[in-house]
Amino acid sequence: MADITCEELKQRMDSGEKLNLIDVRESYEFDEFNIGAILIPLGSLPPKLAELESIKDEEIIIHCRSGNRSAQAKMYMMDQGFTNVRNLLGGMLEWQSLYGN
């Protein structure tokens, strides 16, 4: 599945679309700034996958600080049978450079 840009995500959020957003940063990063995603740090993702089973075939947008950890999470989830996982390109660094805090 193709990744998603900050611009596309912001547009979809602003339109009120219901999205499955997962933040794979650490809790201290999430506490500093977040966009309302569910926090599942990358290291905690494997044991949490069962909790995401109900949305396995829905679009899931993963993000982190820069896009690296979320790219790893995307690959892992796809290897586990998730069919529609997208990585937020540029992560929260890009988001904050475009939209601030």
What would the mean pLDDT of 35-50 be, rounded to a whole number?
A: 97
pLDDT digits (tens, 9 = 90+) for 19-29: 999 999 999 99
Q: Which of 4, 35, 40, 64 is catalytic?
A: 64
Ranges of each domain in the chain: 6-99
Q: Would you say 17 and 4 are in contact if contact means Cβ atoms under 8 Å apart?
A: no
Q: Would you say 45 and 70 are in contact if contact means Cβ atoms under 8 Å apart?
A: no
pTM, whole model, 2 decimals?
0.96
Pick the CATH number of 6-99 from 3.40.718.10, 1.20.58.740, 1.10.260.40, 3.40.250.10: 3.40.250.10
Collapsing DSSP to helix, strand or coil, 84 comes out as coil
Collapsing DSSP to helix, strand or coil, 88 comes out as strand
With bands split at pLDDT 50, 70 and 90, how would you rate the model's confidence at 101?
A: confident
The pLDDT of residue 1: 72
Decide: residue 85, CB within 10 A, 0-12 exposed, 13-18 middle, 19+ buried: buried
Known catalytic membership, residue 64: yes
